[in-house]
């Protein structure tokens, strides 16, 4: 059975839709992390995104609303490929899953943008979150999947725009570079 996003993908499309990270068996499942902080308040640049998500999903999240702080800083901000990264460790090739693979991918994108900006005589990007939230066109929106947690089988669901499973989505490096090269 196809998901709605998979049904939208037609023969001849460049890529199938991206899906939130889910790896393992029913006894030992790993999924994307994500949710809301109990310690830090939602920052202004993120507030409208989290409010929209919580309003759209209130019927689902009310079952476990006491297990997360809806006014807290939400995460993740972005996502990236999170499975089947081949790495060399102690002379052996191994496969990595999750943030061990995806975090270095996003960090390398920002590092490359900084390098290109510095070659052009510009400053490094600094704190990027405010810019990212203002430019959803930089992302491939991940709308399929969910994460586990909060004592329920389906904690948060991926959705249009920002969600607590995949953030704003996966960065399109070309668009990210173009944006930052056109900023002072």
Give me the pLDDT at residue 2, please.
44
Higher per-residue pLDDT: 8 or 151: 151
Give me the pLDDT at residue 110, please.
97
Q: Do the beta carbons of residue 128 and residue 177 sit within 8 Å? A: no
26: pLDDT strictly greater than 80? no
**pTM score:** 0.84
Q: Quick one: what percent of the chain has pLDDT higher than 70?
A: 90
Nearest C-alpha neighbor of 22 from the set 157, 146, 153: 146
Query: Residue 74: CB partners within 8 Å, gap ≥ 6?
Result: 34, 35, 36, 37, 42, 46, 49, 50, 53, 162, 164
Give me the pLDDT at residue 20, please.
82
Taking only the tens place, the pLDDT of each residue in 29-74 is 777 889 999 999 999 999 999 999 999 999 999 999 999 999 999 9
pLDDT range class, residue 17, cuts 50, 70, 90: confident
Taking only the tens place, the pLDDT of each residue in 113-154 is 999 999 999 999 999 999 999 999 999 999 998 898 877 888
Looking up tokens 């089947």, which residue turns up? Answer: 84
For residue 92, the tally of other CB atoms under 10 A from its CB is 7
Give me the pLDDT at residue 33, please.
85
Domain annotation for the chain: domains and CATH numbers: 20-181 (3.40.50.200)
Give me the pLDDT at residue 128, please.
97
Higher per-residue pLDDT: 81 or 45: 45
Give me the pLDDT at residue 12, please.
59
Query: Residue 41: CB partners within 8 Å, gap ≥ 6?
Result: 71, 72, 73
């Amino acid at each position: 059975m196809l998901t709605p996003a998979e049904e939208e993908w037609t023969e001849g499309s460049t890529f199938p839709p991206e899906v939130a990270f889910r790896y393992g068996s029913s006894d030992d499942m790993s999924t994307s992390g994500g949710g809301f902080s109990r310690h830090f308040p939602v920052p202004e640049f993120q507030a409208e995104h989290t409010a929209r998500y919580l309003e759209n999903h209130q019927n689902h999240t009310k079952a476990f609303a006491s297990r997360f702080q809806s006014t807290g800083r939400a995460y993740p901000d972005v996502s990236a490929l999170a499975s089947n990264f081949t790495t060399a460790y102690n002379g052996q090739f191994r496969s990595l899953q999750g943030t061990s693979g995806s975090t270095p991918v996003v960090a390398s994108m920002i590092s490359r943008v900084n390098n290109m900006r510095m070659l052009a005589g510009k400053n490094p990007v600094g704190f990027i979150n405010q810019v990212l939230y203002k430019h959803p066109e930089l992302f491939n929106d991940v709308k399929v999947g969910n994460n586990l947690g909060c004592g329920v089988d389906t904690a948060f669901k991926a959705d249009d725009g920002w969600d607590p499973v995949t953030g704003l989505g996966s960065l399109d490096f070309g668009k990210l570079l173009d944006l930052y090269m056109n900023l002072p």
